[in-house]
Structure 1
Amino acid sequence: MSSPFIGQGAVKAALAGHLARRDGAGRRLKLAAIALAVGGLYLLCWKLAQIDVVKLATGLPKLGHWLAQAWPPNLNELPVFAERMAETMAMALLGTTAAALLALPMAVLASRNITPFPKLYYPARWLLNALRGIDSFVFALLFVAAVGLGPFAGVLGIALHTWGSAAKLFADHIENAGTGPLDAVRSTGAGRGTAIVYALLPDLLPVLLSTTLFWWEFNVRASTVLGVVGAGGIGQELKNSMDLLDFSRLFTIIALILVVVTLLDQLSGWLRKKLV
Structure 2
Amino acid sequence: MTHSSAATRLEVPRDPKTVYRAGSWSVIVVVLIVLHVLAFEATEFRPEALVTGAKGMSNFISEAFPPDLSAEVLQKGISAALTTLWIGLLGTTVSVPFALLLAVFAARTTTPNQGVYQVARGILSFFRAVPDIVFALIFVTAVGLGPFAGVLALICHNTGVMGKLWAEAMEDVDQGPEQALRTAGASRWQVVANATIPNVLPQLTGLLLYRFDVNVRSSLVLGLVGAGGIGLLINKAIKTFQFDEMLTYLIIILIVIIAVDLASAWIRKRLQ
TM norm. shorter chain > 0.5: yes
| Cα distance in 1 between the residues matched to 2:19 and 2:107 | 46
Give the alignment partner of residue 237 of structure 1, picking from 230, 233, 240: 233
> Partner of 1:66 in structure 2?
60
Distance in 1 between the 2:5 and 2:86 partners?
80
CA distance 1:81–1:192, change in 2 (3 Å): same
Query: 1:103, 1:167 within 8 Å by CA — same for their partners in 2?
Result: yes
Who is 2:11 aligned against?
16
Q: Deviations over 1:164-195 (max 9, x none)?
A: 00000100010000121112122222211112
Q: Is 1:149 aligned with 2:145?
A: yes
1:220 aligns with 2:197: no
State yes or no: 1:94 paired with 2:90: yes
Report the 3-state secondary structure (helix = DSSP H, G, I; strand = E; otherwise coil) of the residue aligned with 2:95: helix
Q: CA deviation at 1:36?
A: 3.5
Matches within 5 A, 1:20-169: 20=14, 33-76=27-70, 77-169=73-165
Task: Please provide the CA RMSD for this pair.
Answer: 2.5
Shift of residue 134, structure 1, vs aligned partner = 1.1
Residues 43-63 of structure 1 show CA distances to partners (whole Å, capped at 9, x for unaligned) of: 110000011223211112211
Deviations 1:12-42 (A, max 9, x none): 937834x549999988776655443322211
Aligned pair partner of 1:187 in 172, 183, 188:
183
Q: Name the residue aligned to 1:6.
A: none
Residue type at the aligned position of 2:47: V
Instruction: List structure 1 segments (4+ residues) > 6 angstroms apart after TM superposition.
Output: 9-12, 21-30
Find the aligned partners of 1:163 and 1:25 in 2 and give their Cα distance.
45
Listed one character per residue, the Cα deviations across residues 80-136 of structure 1 (whole Å, up to 9, x for unaligned) are 111111111111111101112211111110010111233211121122111111111
Judge which range, 254-263 or 188-197, deviates more: 188-197
Structure 1, gaps ≥5 residues long? 1-8
Question: Greater CA deviation, 174-183 or 184-193?
Answer: 184-193
Q: Distance in 1 between matches of 2:57 and 2:266?
A: 37
Q: Distance in 1 between matches of 2:15 and 2:209?
A: 56
Q: TM-score, normalised by structure 2?
A: 0.90
| Superposed displacement of residue 258, structure 1 | 0.8
CA distance in structure 2 between the partners assigned to 1:99 and 1:22 by the alignment: 51
Q: Return the structure number with greater relative CO, CA threshold 8 A, min gap 6.
A: 2
Q: How far apart are the structure 2 equivalents of 1:22 and 1:109?
A: 44
**C-alpha distance in structure 2 between counterparts of 1:11 and 1:69, whole Å:** 75
Kindly, what percent of the aligned residue pairs are identical?
35
C-alpha distance in structure 2 between counterparts of 1:114 and 1:75, whole Å:
54
Deviates more, 1:131-140 or 1:24-33: 24-33
